Amino acid sequence: MAGGWSRDGAVQDQIDASINDAVERARSQLPKGASLSHCEECDAEIPPARQAAVPGVRLCVVCQSSVDEKRQSSELFNRRGSKDSQLR
């Protein structure tokens, strides 16, 4: 059901595009290559179980959590999906 000047399916197309962008961004941030035995940041030993669970891991759990928190705080909201951006 389209409203106003939009065509049928436009809202779903926008939702799909937002999801696809998020998936591609997440895939691009996945570690690649061989796992390290020690963290790049703090030089703590990375447990073998973590190395096996996350191929290409480069950070220990503590440092990775810190990186994830910083990344999340910089991504406050999705501008593409914001109704405010659609009304301008």
Interval 16-27: pLDDT, tens: 999 999 999 988
> What pTM value is reported for the model?
0.54
pLDDT for residue 78:
58
Dihedral angle sign, alpha carbons of residues 54, 59, 65, 70: negative
Residue 4 has pLDDT above 70, yes or no: no
> The tokens of 34 are what?
């061989």
Question: Taking a C-beta distance cutoff of 8 angstroms, is the pair 55, 48 a contact?
Answer: no
pLDDT for residue 71:
81
Closest CA to 22 of 87, 81, 82, 84: 81
Interval 40-50: pLDDT, tens: 999 999 999 99
